[in-house]
Amino acid sequence: MADDLNDVTEDDDEVSESSEALIAVHWRDEGYYPPPASFVAQANASDPAIREQFTEDRFPDDFTAYADLLTWFKRWDTVLDTSEAPFWKWFVGGELNASYNCVDRHLADKANKAALIWVAEPESEAHQAITYRELYVRVNEFAAVLKSLGLKAGDRITFHMPMVPELPVAMLAAARLGIIHSQVFAGFSGTAAGHRIADSGSTVLVTVDGYYRSGELLDHKVKADEAVEAAAKEGQQVDKVLVFRRYPGQYSAATPMVEGRDVFVDDLLAEHKGELVEPARLQATDPLFLMYTSGTTGRPKGCQHSIGGYLSYVAGTSKYYQDIHPDDTYWCMADIGWITGHSYIVYGPLALGTTSVLYEGTPNYPDAGRPWRIAVQLGVNIFHTSPTAIRMLRKVGPDEPAKYDYHFKHMTTVGEPIEPEVWRWYYESVGKGEAVIVDTWWQTETGGFLGSTLPGIDPAKPGSCGPAALGILPVILDEDGNEVPAGSGKAGNIVIRNPWPGVFQTIWGQRERFVSTYYAKYNKDPKSTDWRDWPYFAGDGATEAADGYFRILGRVDDVINVAGHRLGTKELESVALTVNEVAEAAAVPVIDDVRGRVVEMYVSLKPGFAPSAEIEAKVRDAIVKDIGKIARPKNIWIVPDMPKTRSGKIMRRVIAATSNFTDTGDITTLANPEVVEKIRQQVQSAKHAKGEVPRELSETELSEIKSFGSE
């Protein structure tokens, strides 16, 4: 894989250095993958002239093309209001409802078309196809339930839901009333959900009794009890826990219901059968939802997304980048608990009136052929997933796709950089050489895609996300704010010069952190109301090739991207510090061939305690309990001392190098350089014994480890 990353660099060089003839040959065979003519013929965007509608001189009015994909109760007066920079306000004065746009408006011509097809994990269970008409009924009934609980526009509600159709129903029901929803990934622990409930000030939690993962019917209700308790500790009372039942009428959890607080939703729904709730006329600038993500401090960030701007942006990008047509069967295998699922399972596809597939389980259960059987059965023609899932399916079932007769026209990879070698397996084996691939770069904060090829126009290049998305104006800047030119081969911080409709409005309850994290770095005048003075700092390192394609190198902060999901090192470390014996803790990334990165923890103990497997287990359990299984450290190393600077700062790059078997670099400035060798011997001999020696790392991987956590 290391070699493949180098391949891409070589391709880039060739663009500027080789002769035209050589480029042509080289591009076609290795570097570039143009879309097949059959795709171009049907694509929503196939004329390069579309870019001319989104040039800088047309900003911000260019984005009204996206807003026009929606149905507005009242059209906006102002496209972009910058008066409170950088709290951008899009489509000011406009009134709309997201639930109306994703459901009601399709009744006229698509009432009997499937909006959602839910696939249960057990293959013995039948699929559930929910038509737009039925979705309308279910959303209205659940909205009636929420209304009967006294919830109203502007209130917050937390969902801690797995991949069941009740989740999009609940989201759209909240959206119907203007209740701000916050869906927490079901794989996160009850405690993590509790922190997010408290942060958002939710009084109602919606959950399920159980769901299937890898063949097991998990008790999920137990997490609701933990969540309520954790929220109460932070002063937030949860009055009601609404429990959907995986099998209506039958309780699947072992944990008892709490009298007066917990209610079965199927009972409540029966009381509101057939009720209709008018979709509220909401301001475009009202919040639609919060999506929590990790940052460099322990407190999670509730990214607040607007109704009008967000919905416009996901509708527009779903149309042009996912190439969704109403007749497609579209399957995004991500989880709705992440931004990808919000934007590209629920809001974007449903706004366009397509059929969106929802799968409950793990991709390789009961075997690596499962996704391809689903694709055949449902006639999926657009497929969307992450590099981690692709690597895993490739590892356990490289020859499986060929056994199944499905045909994708379009595939997506999202969430982390994809190695060209993995990209090629995706293209050749999963896509059978017939499907275009978009590698979409974006973030929870950005609502929708920022970098991607336009699949009917631009050739794909493995390892690069492609050019900027329509209307997005990126630039790469060095630490001093100087532009790093395209084709220079140098990396820097990728920055977006302009606002766009999908950008989040603020961090819930943390306005200053919003400005300081995303806008302060390259802002020269905090009083300016000109958008040109407020470049958006994405926190990713990137390079731009001479052809204008961006290659994203990963986070520049202390965030570890595990299987495409961001975990904050400070969050992990503060959990480790809750273990009584632990004096100091540091979290570092370890390169992993399937999950991209995994977490490794280093801890040192308070005086009087000796290292033991028991303490290791305590740290591991605390992390799983407080954050979730996704954060489970690969190893926990109890070390005699942490390598530190003279000012006492833990040198994470030194231990990251140790964990990854790379060069620790200059350690002469450390206060305790002698400890580095001790730790190296301890960790690396234990790793050798476990057979955990990593392969040779690529240049970008090496540079990430080398600079990890650097100040």
Question: Where do contacts with ligand 6R9 occur on this chain (CB under 6 A)?
Answer: 293, 338-340, 414-417, 439-444, 465, 540, 552, 554-555, 561, 564-566
DSSP 8-state assignment for residue 188: B
CB 638 within 8 A of CB 616: yes
Nearer to ligand 6R9, 157 or 414 (CB): 414
Query: Residue of minimal CB distance from ligand 6R9?
Result: 444
Nearer to ligand 6R9, 339 or 495 (CB): 339
Q: How far is the CB of 464 from ligand 6R9 (least distance, A)?
A: 9
Nearer to ligand 6R9, 195 or 272 (CB): 195
Q: What are phi and psi of 48, to 5 degrees?
A: -55, -20
Contacts of 108 (CB under 8 A, 6+ apart): none
| Amino acid sitting at position 500 | W
DSSP 8-state assignment for residue 445: G
Q: How far is the CB of 282 from ligand 6R9 (least distance, A)?
A: 25
Q: What angle do CA 309, 314, 315 make, to 5 degrees?
A: 100
Cα 501 from Cα 64, distance rounded (Å): 9
Nearer to ligand 6R9, 337 or 643 (CB): 337
Cα 491 from Cα 505, distance rounded (Å): 28
Cα 561 from Cα 301, distance rounded (Å): 16
CA dihedral over 135, 188, 156, 259, signed as positive or negative: positive
CB 228 within 8 A of CB 207: no
Nearer to ligand 6R9, 246 or 566 (CB): 566
Q: How far is the CB of 16 from ligand 6R9 (least distance, A)?
A: 23
CB 312 within 8 A of CB 338: no
Beta bridge partners of 466: 550
Nearer to ligand 6R9, 386 or 658 (CB): 386
Nearer to ligand 6R9, 192 or 243 (CB): 192
- Alpha carbon distances (Å) from 602 to 56, 457, 640, 658: 48, 48, 10, 11
Q: What angle do CA 450, 455, 456 make, to 5 degrees?
A: 135
Contacts of 247 (CB under 8 A, 6+ apart): none
Reference 552, options 440, 653, 647; nearest CA is 440
Nearer to ligand 6R9, 300 or 564 (CB): 564
Cα 702 from Cα 1, distance rounded (Å): 13
Q: How far is the CB of 393 from ligand 6R9 (least distance, A)?
A: 18
How far from chain centre, in Å, is Cα 91? 25
Q: How far is the CB of 452 from ligand 6R9 (least distance, A)?
A: 8
Nearer to ligand 6R9, 328 or 445 (CB): 445
Nearer to ligand 6R9, 340 or 493 (CB): 340
DSSP-assigned states of every residue in 117-142: EEE-SSTTSPPEEEEHHHHHHHHHHH
Cα 617 from Cα 18, distance rounded (Å): 56
CB 411 within 8 A of CB 383: yes
Nearer to ligand 6R9, 300 or 415 (CB): 415
Q: How far is the CB of 103 from ligand 6R9 (least distance, A)?
A: 25
| Amino acid sitting at position 478 | D
Q: How far is the CB of 48 from ligand 6R9 (least distance, A)?
A: 22
Q: Cα dihedral angle (343, 348, 353, 359), rounded to 10 degrees?
A: -20
Q: How far is the CB of 438 from ligand 6R9 (least distance, A)?
A: 9
Q: What are phi and psi of 555, to 5 degrees?
A: -70, 145
Q: How far is the CB of 518 from ligand 6R9 (least distance, A)?
A: 12
Residue 75, Cβ neighbours under 10 Å: how many? 14
Q: How far is the CB of 539 from ligand 6R9 (least distance, A)?
A: 6
Nearer to ligand 6R9, 502 or 564 (CB): 564
Cα 449 from Cα 61, distance rounded (Å): 19
Nearer to ligand 6R9, 442 or 536 (CB): 442
Q: Tokens 């929606």 correspond to what residue?
A: 70
Give the helix/strand (H/E) hosting 377.
helix 370-378
Compute the radius of gyration of the chain from its Cα atoms.
25
Q: How far is the CB of 115 from ligand 6R9 (least distance, A)?
A: 23
Reference 78, options 97, 93, 64, 66; nearest CA is 93
DSSP 8-state assignment for residue 345: I
Tokens of 367: 């075997």
Q: Cα dihedral angle (202, 206, 207, 209), rounded to 10 degrees?
A: 130
Nearer to ligand 6R9, 561 or 698 (CB): 561
Q: How far is the CB of 423 from ligand 6R9 (least distance, A)?
A: 11
Q: How far is the CB of 443 from ligand 6R9 (least distance, A)?
A: 4
How far from chain centre, in Å, is Cα 54? 26
Cis bond leading into 248, ω under 30°?
Answer: no
Nearer to ligand 6R9, 279 or 628 (CB): 628
Q: How far is the CB of 690 from ligand 6R9 (least distance, A)?
A: 29
Q: How far is the CB of 289 from ligand 6R9 (least distance, A)?
A: 14
Tokens of 575: 């959990």
Nearer to ligand 6R9, 314 or 378 (CB): 314
How many residues are present in the chain?
711
Nearer to ligand 6R9, 85 or 552 (CB): 552
Instruction: List alpha helices for 490-612, DSSP H.
Output: 511-518, 569-576
Q: How far is the CB of 445 from ligand 6R9 (least distance, A)?
A: 7
Q: How far is the CB of 594 from ligand 6R9 (least distance, A)?
A: 16
